[in-house]
Amino acid sequence: MEEQETKAPPEEAAKDTDSASGDGESKDVRVESTFEELEKEFEEVLQEMVGDGSLGKFKTEYEKLHKALIKSHESEKRLMLQCQELNAELISNASKVTSALKITQDDKATISSQKQEIEKLWRAVDDAQDKETKTHETIHQLKLENISLNKLIENGAGLGPAMQESMKALEKEKEELTVERDEQMEEISALRTELSELMEKRKEAENERESVELKVLQLQEEITAKNQEIDRDSRRKAKLEKDLRGVQAEVDGKVEEIKAKQGQLNKAHEDYAKAEQVLKDTQVRLK
């Protein structure tokens, strides 16, 4: 299995996410401060409208805006918390990918070393088999020579001193070669055992590497999914912030409208009071 490519190194993804998390926390503080100021302003305006029946309609509408603001703020707080949790999970997954990639690289180095060792052992096995084959051929040749000598003896040929020495030399060489052949066969057996064990280790390393690479792929897919989720939540957050600004602008407009209505009402009260006073004065003069 070939190593999968990442769109960005996990370390950079973790750093970017961590930085974004820090900026987000600072922004959260600013948003909370702004909301507290708005909440205070809401409460002050509502207190001014308490007991004034003429502002009942405006008070009802104002309270609706107040509830909309609180709902928008609570939604934004939940969304920010989700983003922070997703950022933390993203950092954790990026760290896991880095560790898994390091394991994969180490496994590749181990497999490469084992491959070289296996090739070396195969060469040793081939050399030992060549030696064993040559020794076997030599022993076979000595057996043929021994058979020829035995036939000469059976046919009545006497063994002179030279022939006896030759027979002894052949027997000795045969024994030495037999010992050498047995040693070579033992060496071949040991090499085959070592080769089998090494190939088994290589197979295990290959399986482990494939498992790690699969894990890396899964983690990368998780990171991609989390990034997409963060993007979606960021867009939702941006929409909520836009809605919050809209509500704030609407509230500001209503506050100004209420102030204007209150001014008109106060002026009407003053005009009424003046008219009432004029009426009283007129009644007094007419008596």
Q: What would the mean pLDDT of 198-211 be, rounded to a whole number?
A: 77
Share of the chain above pLDDT 70, in %: 63
Contact 79, 229 (CB under 8 A): no
> Distance between CA 125 and CA 116 in Å, rounded?
14
The mean predicted confidence, pLDDT, of the chain is 71
Please say if the pLDDT value at position 31 is more than 60. no
Tokens of 215: 């894990």
Q: Which of 61, 58, 66, 65 is nearest to 258 (CA)?
A: 58
Q: Is this prediction's pTM over 0.75? A: no
First and final C-alpha spacing in the chain:
114
What confidence score (pLDDT) does residue 158 get?
Answer: 52
What confidence score (pLDDT) does residue 153 get?
Answer: 58
What confidence score (pLDDT) does residue 74 get?
Answer: 78
pLDDT tens digit string along 77-102?
Answer: 777 787 677 777 767 767 777 776 67
State how far Cα 66 lies from the chain centre. 42
Q: Which of 65-69, 203-207, 227-231 has the lowest mean pLDDT?
A: 65-69
What confidence score (pLDDT) does residue 62 get?
Answer: 66
Please say if the pLDDT value at position 38 is more than 50. yes
What confidence score (pLDDT) does residue 14 get?
Answer: 44
What confidence score (pLDDT) does residue 55 get?
Answer: 58
More reliable by pLDDT, 20 or 270: 270
One DSSP character per residue, the chain reads -PPPP-SS-HHHHHHHHHHHHHHHHHHHHHHHHHHHHHHHHHHHHHHHHTT-GGGHHHHHHHHHHHHHHHHHHHHHHHHHHHHHHHHHHHHHHHHHHHHHHHHHHHHHHHHHHHHHHHHHHHHHHHHHHHHHHHHHHHHHHHHHHHHHHHHHHHTT----HHHHHHHHHHHHHHHHHHHHHHHHHHHHHHHHHHHHHHHHHHHHHHHHHHHHHHHHHHHHHHHHHHHHHHHHHHHHHHHHHHHHHHHHHHHHHHHHHHHHHHHHHHHHHHHHHHHHHHHHHHHHHH-
Domains defined along the chain, listed by start: 10-286 (1.10.287.2610)
More reliable by pLDDT, 18 or 204: 204
Q: What would the mean pLDDT of 258-284 be, rounded to a whole number?
A: 82
Please say if the pLDDT value at position 274 is more than 80. yes
Q: Which of 92-106, 149-163, 225-239 has the lowest mean pLDDT?
A: 149-163
More reliable by pLDDT, 241 or 1: 241
pLDDT band at 21 (very low <50, low <70, confident <90, very high): very low
